[in-house]
């Protein structure tokens, strides 16, 4: 069995020419097409921008009846989509912190690890 790890640091990159903050896999800047970037790590806590509770999971998550998914934004503007550790008392605007853990076995039987988000209070 393989363990498929995401990078444990949450990093985006910032264009050194136009300043746009963007996901780390863009080879050229989304806005100005340059390829001169600085890596930026997510900092501080993050706020919940929106969320859903998915009750019809895709096949990889077939052993779970439901889970919460949210989009969060860190203090320095980095956004991440991930699962939330609870389905209770979720509200747009609450503060969360990232926790790195196994989230499923994929269809090839390998463990998938990723960041999930835990409400602070």
Partner 1 sequence: MNKVAIIGVGHTKFGRLQGKNILDLLCEASLEAIDNSNTGDKEFDSVYVGAMSPGVLNHMTGIASALVDRIGLIPAAADHIKNGPASGGSAIKAGFLAIASGVNDLVLVVGGEKMTHITTPGFITSNVATITHHQAERRHGVSLPSFAGLLTRAYLEKYEAKLEWISEIAIKNHKNGALNPIAHFQKTIDEFMKSAIQKGKGQWNDVNEFLRDDKTNPIIADPLRLFHVCPISDGAAAVVLCNAEIAKNYCDTPVLITGVGQATDTHIVHEREDVTVLNALRNCSNQAYKMANKTPQDIDVAELHDAFEILEVIESEDIGFFKKGEGARAAHEGLTEIGGKIPINPSGGLKARGHPLGATGVAQVVELFWQLRGEAGKRQVEGAKTGITCNFGGFGNSIVSILVERM
Q: Which is nearer to partner 1, 85 or 106 (CB)?
A: 106
- Asked whether position 29 contacts partner 1 by CB under 8 A, the answer is no
In whole angstroms, give the CA distance from residue 89 to residue 59.
27
45 in contact with partner 1 (CB under 8 A): no
Interaction between residue 47 and partner 1 (CB under 8 A): no
Verify binding: residue 119, partner 1, rule CB under 8 A.
no
Binding-site member from 15, 29, 80, 94 for partner 1 (CB under 8 A): 80
Q: What is the DSSP string of 55-121?
A: SS--GGGTT-S-EEEEEEEETTS-EEEEEES-SSS--TT-EEEEEEEEEEE-TTS-EEEEEEEEE--
Helix H or strand E encompassing 48? strand 46-54
Chain residues that interact with partner 1, rule: CB under 8 A: 4, 6, 22-23, 25, 30, 49-62, 67, 69-71, 79-83, 92, 103-104, 106-107, 112, 114
């Amino acid at each position: 069995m393989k363990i498929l790890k995401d990078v444990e640091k949450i990093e985006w990159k910032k264009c050194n020419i136009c300043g746009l903050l963007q996901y780390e896999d863009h080879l050229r800047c989304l806005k100005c097409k340059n390829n001169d970037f600085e890596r930026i790590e997510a900092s501080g806590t993050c706020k919940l921008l929106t969320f859903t509770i998915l009750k019809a999971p895709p096949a990889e998550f077939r052993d779970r009846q439901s889970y919460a998914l949210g989009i969060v934004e860190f203090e320095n503007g980095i956004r991440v989509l991930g699962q939330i550790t609870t389905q209770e008392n979720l509200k747009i605007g609450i503060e969360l912190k990232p926790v790195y853990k196994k989230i499923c076995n994929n269809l090839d039987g390998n463990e998938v690890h990723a960041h999930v988000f835990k409400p602070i209070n």
